[in-house]
Amino acid sequence: MITLSEQDMKQMASKGIAKEKVENQINTFKEGIPFVNLQSAAVVGNGILRFKEEEERELIELYESKVKDLDILKFVPASGAASRMFKALFSFLDSYDYNSESLESYLKRTNDKDIKKLSEGLENMPFYKKVMDRLPSNFKSNGEKVYLFVKELLGDDALNYGFYPKGLLPFHKYGYTTATPFEEHLKEGALYASSSGGSKLHFTISEQHEEMFQSELNQVGDRVSKETGIDYTVDYSFQKPSTDTIAVDMENKPFRNPDGTVLFRPGGHGALIENLNEQDADIIFIKNIDNVAVMADAKAVADSKKTLAGVLLKVQEKAFEFANMLDGDSITEDNPGNIRKFLTEELNVKFKENFDGLSKAEKVKLLKNRINRPIRICGMVKNEGEPGGGPFWIKSANGDVSLQIIESAQIDMDDPDQVDILQNSTHFNPVDLVCGIRDYKGEKYNLMDFVDPKQGFITDKTMNGKELKALELPGLWNGAMAHWNTIFVEVPLVTFNPVKTVLDLLKDSHQA
C-alpha cells in the first residue's frame, strides 16, 4: 500500500487523477507488464486481405454511393514536436566551425552522412528559398553556407523550426509556395473524408500550439476551401492531464521532484483514446500528422482510404443485421452458427472449441459480446525495413486469440520462437485506420470499455541523476483498441510517407 500525503492528493486532484488510478499504476510497476504471446505473423491469406483492382473499384463505389448520407471525421494525432526531426542538424551546429575547417574535411573526418545528404539536396528543401532570403547573398565557402543555413533554420532568434509543432513546418514546395502537413490534411479531407460539401477534421495538439494552428488555418483555410469547393470544420483537443502516469523509483515508490511533488509524465499516444472517445461520427479516418503525400499522389492515397471505408461499410452492414437479430426474439437454432461463421471469416474472431457444446442462450450471449464492438479497418504496407509495429495473431492470458498491432518493445527478444515469428512478418503498421464506433442502433460505444490495460510499456529513465521507471499507456492503435473487431488490409506504399527526420523531405514522395 502506498502512502500519499495530503499535498500529493491535492496535486493529483488538480490533474484530475484518482487515487485508485495511481494505485493501479504502481501495482503495474510491481507486477510488470508481460510480453505478448505471438502465435503467428498476420500475412496475406491469414489475417491480411489483399484486393484485386476490380474488388477495390467496387469497394470505392460502395463508399462513394453512401458517403453523402454519412457523418465523416478525420482524426489526426498532431502533438509531435519537430525537435527530433532536426537532431542531426543540432549536432552539426555544435560540432562544426566553418572558419577553421572546410565542409569536405568535416564530412571526411566525421562521416556525417546526414549533413552530406543535406548539403547535396539543400536546394530541394521546401524551405530553401525562405531561409536563403534571410541570409547574406555571398558566402566564403560551401561550409559557411550550409552552417548559416542550418543556424537560420533552427536558431532561437531566427526561424526556430526545431521548436515548431511538426504539423506546421513547410513540407512540400509547389512552385513559389509551400504547404504544411496541416494544409495537406485539409486537401486530403476534401478527397476522401468529406460529405455533402463539408469536411470535418479534429487535430490533437499540444495546448501551447493552439494559437499557431489557428493562425495557419486563418492563413490557408479560405484558399484551400476555394480550391477544393469544400467547407471545413476544424477543431482541436489536447492530451488530458488526467492521462499522465506516475513515475516510480527502483523500489516502486512514487518518484519525487526536488520540490517534493510527485513526478507525473505524459502517458504517450495511448492517452488519445480519451480524445477519440469524445468524437462521434459514422466513420472516422485516423492518420498521423507527418504522413502526407504530395498532391501528385493524392488520388492514389484517396482511393486507398475509400477502399478501407468500403470494407468497413460492407462488413458493418452484416454485423448490424446480425446484432439486431441477436437482440430480437427470432433466433433459430441455425442462426448462431451463421453468425459465428460471419464473425470468424469476416471479422477474424477466434472461438474456443467448446462453442458447439453451449446452449442456445449461452451462444447468443457470447455472440452478442463479440459482435457488439467497434470495428477498425487497418491498412498495412509491405515491410520495406521501416521501423514500427506490425500485424500479428496473439494469444491473451485467458487463451483468446486475436489480431493485434504489436510494437517490437512488446515482444520477448530473448525467446527464439517469438523472434522467429517476428522475422516472418511481411507487413508493418503505417497508422492508417478507418473506424466504426457506433452500434447498429446508431449509438456510440464507450471506447474505454475496449482497452487492454496490460498492453502498456514500462521504460527506464533518469532524472536529476536518479533512476526511475516510467509507464506508457497502451498505444492508441495497440492496446487501446485491443478489444475492437479488427480487419487488416494491404495498402500501397504510396500511402505511407512519414517524416521522421528532416532528410525524409528529400525523398521523391515529398518532392512535388
**pLDDT tens-digit readout, 260-289:** 999 999 998 899 999 999 999 999 999 999
Q: Which residue has the higher pLDDT, 76 or 5?
A: 76
pLDDT of residue 277: 98
Section 196-222 average pLDDT: 96
Residues 6+ apart with CB under 8 A from 436: 282, 283, 312, 316, 374, 375, 376
Scan for cell 517476428, then name that residue.
Answer: 422
Cell numbers given for 22:
495511481
Q: Of 96-105, 140-149, 384-393, 443-452, give the lowest mean pLDDT range.
A: 384-393
Q: How far from 485 is each of 223, 340, 372, CA to CA, in Å?
A: 39, 13, 9
pLDDT over 90, % of the chain? 86
Residue 146 has what pLDDT? Answer: 96
Residue from 251, 274, 336 nearest 473 by CA: 274
Q: What is the pLDDT of residue 1?
A: 61
Rounded CA-CA distance 306/323 in Å is: 25
> Contact, 124 vs 294, CB < 8 A?
no
User: Is the pTM here over 0.85, yes or no?
Assistant: yes
Please tell me the predicted confidence (pLDDT) of residue 328.
82
Closest CA to 316 of 375, 276, 403: 375
CA distance 170 to 182: 10
pLDDT at position 388, please?
64
Point out the least confidently predicted range of 155-164, 274-283, 330-339, 433-442.
Answer: 330-339
Q: What are phi and psi of 402, to 5 degrees?
A: -150, 165
The CA radius of gyration of the chain, in Å to the nearest whole number, is: 25
Band (pLDDT 50/70/90 cuts) for residue 385 is low
Domain with CATH 3.90.550.10 in the chain: 6-81+181-313+377-498
Q: State the chain's mean pLDDT as an integer.
A: 94
pLDDT at residue 2 tops 80: no
pLDDT of residue 219: 96
Q: How far apart are CA 21 and CA 26, in angstroms?
A: 9
The vertex-236 CA angle with 230 and 242, nearest 5°, equals 155
Query: pLDDT digit string (tens) for 67-107?
Result: 999 999 999 999 988 889 999 999 999 999 999 999 999 99
pLDDT at 335: 83
pLDDT score of 149 more than 90: yes
Amino acid letter, 92: F
- pLDDT for 354 equals 83
Q: Which residue has the cell 512478418?
A: 425
pLDDT score of 353 more than 80: no
H or E segment to which residue 434 belongs: strand 432-436
Mean pLDDT of 106-128: 96
How, if at all, do strands 264-265 and 37-41 pair? unpaired
Residue type, 74: K
Using 50, 70 and 90 to split pLDDT, how confident is the model at 317?
Answer: very high
pLDDT at res. 355: 86
Give dist(CA 430, CA 381) in Å, integer: 7
- Burial (CB < 10 A; 0-12, 13-18, 19+), residue 165, is buried
Residue 56 CA to chain centroid, in angstroms?
24
Mean pLDDT of 12-29: 92
pLDDT tier for residue 474 given thresholds of 50, 70 and 90? very high
Superfamily of domain 6-81+181-313+377-498: Spore Coat Polysaccharide Biosynthesis Protein SpsA; Chain A (3.90.550.10)
What's residue 387's pLDDT? Answer: 58
Band of pLDDT at residue 352, cut at 50, 70 and 90: confident
Mean per-residue pLDDT, 338-367 = 91
Give dist(CA 466, CA 479) in Å, integer: 30
Is residue 125 within 8 Å of 506, Cβ to Cβ? yes
Distance of CA 126 to the CA centre of its chain: 25
